[in-house]
Structure 1
Amino acid sequence: MKHINHKRKLIPLVILAAAALIASISLSGSNQFTGVVEATILPHISEVPGKIVKLPVDLGTHVAKGDVIAIIDKTDLEYSLKQLQLTLDQTRIALSEQESQSGSKASNSIAIARSNYNSAVSASQKATLDYQNAQELFTQGAITKDVLEKSKVAADTASNGVVSAKAQLDNAASGTPAESTRLELEKLESQQEEMLQNLDKYTIKAASNGVVMSKSYLPGDMISPGYNLVDLAADGENYFVFYLPVEDLYSMEYDQTYDVVSNGTSYRATVKYIDVKSNYTPKDMQTPANKNRKSIKVKLLLPKDCPLKPGQEAEVKI
């Protein structure tokens, strides 16, 4: 009887041990997640409108940071810059005369200002007429919206030139024009600086070393501001992306490291991105740990020498 009772006591212990082993196996598998490697994609967006005159990269091309990705036609801006330079030169001459003039020299300054004003009016009338013609051509479908916008900018610029020239004429006639002309000169110099800065925007350069992943345009195409020319996959910035259940988020912090495993080889990766919005795990990344559960997208930065390629699957245990 004692021997039988001893067996009866052992049976619950065996059951408990088996249950603990099953729970241990279940728990060890519950924190394993499948993910995929993604590259850091850098879009190269145009800030200016115009015709693409050069696009010296092809899909798969490796480029270095600073290499030219595209060149957009800047003829119109260069022309406007030359015209502004002429206005600056004239304004500097006028200021010099105003500061040194006395008596009869005032009339000469007025004559120069009047001549500049007449020239500005003539240029504005032509630019306005060109814009009106462009509107008609656009309505007929003969030109693009970008060409129409350029024509409008030219008309507006010419109109502003009239206002500026009129102010100079009024200052010359007032008898105390020097200070106002000096202010006008500062304004023109500021405009020149802005235009020179915009000139650089017509050449788009690679933001990083990397590989060209996509091209949205070809040489000869027109592009508008805000549109993407090229996508570049940056070198050495691949991420392992997986979905972590919301309730497990407390266990993860930025700059923590985890082992990403593929084909038996592990790579130490660092937490660099945790999404703020939850959603359901995509089907191709579902495991028993996150299936049909609200999850958070997490990105781990892989080491630079990691051979895993974008699109390749791997696993991580949290």
Structure 2
Amino acid sequence: MKRLFRTMLAGGLVVALAGCTWLGQTEQALSGTIEAEELPIVAEVGGQVTSIGFEEGSHVTKGEVLAEIDKRSYQIGVAEAQAALEQATVRVEEAKAGSRDVSIQKGLAGVQQADANIHLANARKSQADAGIVRAQQQLAQSKSQQQGTQDTLLYQQRRVQEAAALFAKGAISKKDLETQQEAASQAQTQLNQLNALVAQAEAQVRSAQEDVAAAIAQTGTAQAQKASAQADLELLKEGSTDYTIRALLAAQQQAQTRLDQAKLQLEKAQITASADGVLLRSSITQGEVAKVGATLFTMMKADKLKLVVYIPEAQLNHVQKGQEVGIQVDAYPDVTFKGKISTISDKAEFTPKNVQTPNERTKLVFAVTIHITEGLDKLKPGMPADVLLSEQGGAQ
């Protein structure tokens, strides 16, 4: 029943009792419409709505589950927070118990490993230093041979020029000229080979120098690791300090807070009625995704009915806050229900437009709110009602 019990807007009417004037009767009548106090039910977490428990118009009691949002992601969040809390708790307990022999042995092993790394780096540097010496010796030898071969090549090239001149005069044979040319060619080949050896030796020197630099860096890293491992070992031998324990306790408290928050989010995945009443409107269907802050339902509180009427300015002396009044409705013509004036507007306004006559609409009136205290099981939102005021009840 869509929009069942929709709360009607207040439109209290200033209506004189038939055949009566305000000052001529002991009771005055005002007309209005019974209203419900609406209560929105808002989603505090987001997700897909997996079930809806009630339809519009249903009577619900406080705490009943109206709908459920997919809990899986929130359950995972609780599990993660629980694991984090357990881990933080173990660290606190371990710190309070002090360092164990196993931890100390592990720290000592770390120091020994750092020592071994230092020795290894030193050995690598020594090996790299020796490699530089060998490479430099090979380079010097290759350069010496290179110089000698260059001198030999120049000598053989001059001999070729002399032989060519003698051959041109007919002083030597062509074979003698070719022999000399072959000697010069061999000297050139030998020089080319020595040039390659010199380049190779220079590359070996550079490589050996890079090995030395790497070994020095490795030694520095190993020494830093040893210093860190030694410091950790000293802390393990001394045990956890008060500052360490306090930090671990703070981390444990933080983990507990996160777990509480995750559990709260999981609880909020169940949308419950916050009071007894009637479900007026449903703004969500199963399968929809609810957004945080969205109004999913609107309900009417079971014990909260009110009536707003408007009283002319000249008749304000007939009402006062806390005054009891009588309420009559057509459904129960022989019954007068009780109500109590809760508020009287501080500001005057023109009579609402739904008043019947132009003359009434031009009057200045004050809104009077009456909370109904009797007949809540019989009176319903939307019922027209008359309010009976006793002149004796107002200010004289």
What does the per-residue CA deviation read over 1:33-80, in whole Å, with 9 as the maximum and x for residues that have no partner? 221111222211111222111111111112122211111123222212
Other-structure match for 1:292: 362
Q: TM-score, normalised by structure 2?
A: 0.52
* Alignment pair present for 1:43 and 2:40: yes
8 Å CA contact 1:33, 1:285 repeated in 2: no
Partner Cα distance (1:48, 1:173) in 2? 48
SS of residue matched to 2:361: coil
What secondary structure is seen at the aligned counterpart in 1 of 2:286?
coil
Match of 2:338 among 265, 268, 272: 268
Asked whether 1:243 is paired with 2:310, we answer yes
Q: What is the deviation of 1:277?
A: 5.2
Whether 2:245 is the aligned partner of 1:178: answer yes
C-alpha offsets along residues 253-307 of structure 1, whole Å, 9 cap, x if unaligned? 3321111233444222111244455543323356799632343332212234253
User: What amino acid maps onto 2:77 in structure 1?
Assistant: S
Offset of residue 184 of structure 1? 0.8
Judge conservation of contact 1:42–1:232 (CA < 8 Å) in 2.
yes
Change in 2 beyond 3 A, CA 1:189/1:276: farther
Give 1:189-268 correspondences, 5 Å limit.
Answer: 189-246=256-313, 248-249=315-316, 251-263=318-330, 264-265=333-334, 266-268=336-338
**What residue in structure 1 maps to residue 132 of structure 2?**
none
One-letter amino acid of the counterpart of residue 275, structure 2:
S
Greater shift in the superposed pair: 264-273 or 48-57: 264-273
Alpha-carbon displacement from aligned partner over 1:81-105 (angstroms, at most 9, x marks no partner): 2111111111222222222233762
**8 Å contact 1:236–1:305 — kept in the other structure?**
no
Q: How does 1:48-127 map to 2 (within 5 A)?
A: 48-102=45-99, 105=103
Cα gap change, 1:286/1:305 in structure 2, threshold over 3 Å: closer, same or farther? same
Once residues 259 and 222 of structure 1 are traced to their aligned partners in structure 2, the CA distance between those partners, rounded to angstroms, is 47
| Offset of residue 248 of structure 1 | 4.5
CA separation in 2, counterparts of 1:213 and 1:245? Answer: 33
Distance 1:247 1:91 in 2: 73
Distance 1:293 1:106 in 2: 92
Specify the SS of the correspondent of 2:322. Answer: coil
Distance in structure 1 (CA, Å) of the matches to 2:374 and 2:69: 34
Structure having the larger proportion of residues in strand: 1
Q: Which range is displaced more, 83-92 or 98-107?
A: 98-107
Q: Secondary structure at the match of 1:284?
A: coil
- Whether the 8 Å contact between 2:337 and 2:375 is mirrored in structure 1 is no
Would the alpha carbon gap of residues 300 and 290 (structure 1) be closer, same or farther in structure 2, given more than 3 Å must change?
Answer: farther
Q: Secondary structure at the match of 1:181?
A: helix
Separation in 2, partners of 1:254, 1:184:
55
Taking structure 1 as reference, are residues 58 and 97 closer, same or farther at Cα in structure 2, changes over 3 Å only? same
Change (3 A) 1:300 1:51: same
Specify the SS of the correspondent of 1:283.
coil
The amino acid that maps onto 1:252 is V
CA–CA distance in 2 between the matches of 1:280 and 1:70? 44
Q: What do the CA deviations read for 1:129-173 (whole angstroms, capped 9, x no partner)? A: xxxxxxxxxxxxxxxxxxxxxxxxxxxxxxxxxxxxxxxxxxx89
- Cα distance in 1, alignment partners of residues 234 and 358 from structure 2: 85
Paired amino acid for 1:105: S
**TM-score, normalized by length of structure 1?**
0.63
**One-letter code of the match for 1:233?**
M
For the structure 1 residues 97 and 311, does the alpha-carbon distance in structure 2 shift closer, same or farther, using more than 3 Å as the test?
same
Aligned residue in 1 for 2:381: 310
| Cα distance change, pair 95–239 in 1 and its aligned pair in 2 (3 A) | same
The percentage of counterpart residues that share the same residue type is 24
Number of residues of Structure 1 aligned to a counterpart in Structure 2: 234
1: distance between equivalents of 2:105 and 2:354? 83
Amino acid in the other structure paired with 1:72: I
Partner amino acid for 2:47? G
One-letter amino acid matched to 1:55: I
Task: State which drifts further: 29-38 or 228-237.
Answer: 29-38
Structure 1 or 2, whichever has the larger Rg, is 2
Cα separation, 2, equivalents of 1:214 and 1:70: 13
Separation in 1 of the partners of 2:86 and 2:266? Answer: 20
CA-CA distance at 1:203 after TM superposition: 1.2
Structure-1 residue corresponding to 2:350:
280
Q: CA distance change for structure 1 residues 273 and 224 in 2, over 3 Å: closer, same or farther?
A: farther
Whole-Å separation in 2 of the counterparts to 1:108 and 1:294: 90
**Separation in structure 1 between the aligned mates of residue 28 and residue 306 of structure 2, nearest angstrom:** 19
How far, CA to CA, are the matches of 2:305 and 2:357 in structure 1?
Answer: 22
Contact map agreement 1:274 1:296 (CA 8 A) in 2: yes
Change (3 A) 1:247 1:45: farther
Contact (CA 8 Å) 1:33, 1:289: kept in 2 or not? no
